[in-house]
Amino acid sequence: MDSARKSKKHQILETYFGSDFPEDLAEDFTKQPVKLLKGHNKAVREMAYSEKHKILVSCGFDFEVFVWNPYLEEKIMKLDGHEYPLVGVNCLS
C-alpha cells in the first residue's frame, strides 16, 4: 500500500509490528468494548483470564485486585490491603 494512502491505523501498526503485520490485527484495532466492568478507581495496569476457571483478574494503580465473572459483568471478589500500586497479575492453571 502506498504510504500516502495508508490510514493512520496502518501507520501505527507498522511502527510497532513492521510492514508485514496480519491484516486481522488492523480490524481488531478499531473494535469497541463489548462489556464494561466497573470497579477500579484508577487506571487498570493488567488483566489476566483463566480459561480453566472462566474468571478474569484485574489489577491497577488503586492498590486493588478484582476477580470477575466476565460473562455476567460482576465482581466475584475484591482483594485489597496492598500498600503499593500493582503492576502485574497472572492466572495459573
pLDDT of residue 49: 92
For cell 485486585, the residue is 65
pLDDT of residue 73: 79
Q: What is the mean pLDDT of the chain?
A: 80
**Residue 36 burial by Cβ neighbours in a 10 Å radius (0-12, 13-18, 19+):** exposed
Report yes or no: 89 and 47 within 8 Å, Cβ to Cβ. Answer: yes
pLDDT of residue 55: 92
Segment 22-50, tens digit of pLDDT = 666 556 655 666 778 889 988 889 999 99
The gap from C-alpha 82 to its chain's centroid, in whole angstroms, comes to 21
Using pLDDT thresholds of 50, 70 and 90, give the confidence band for residue 74.
confident
Q: 3-class SS at 75?
A: strand
Report yes or no: 37 and 47 within 8 Å, Cβ to Cβ. Answer: no
pLDDT of residue 30: 59
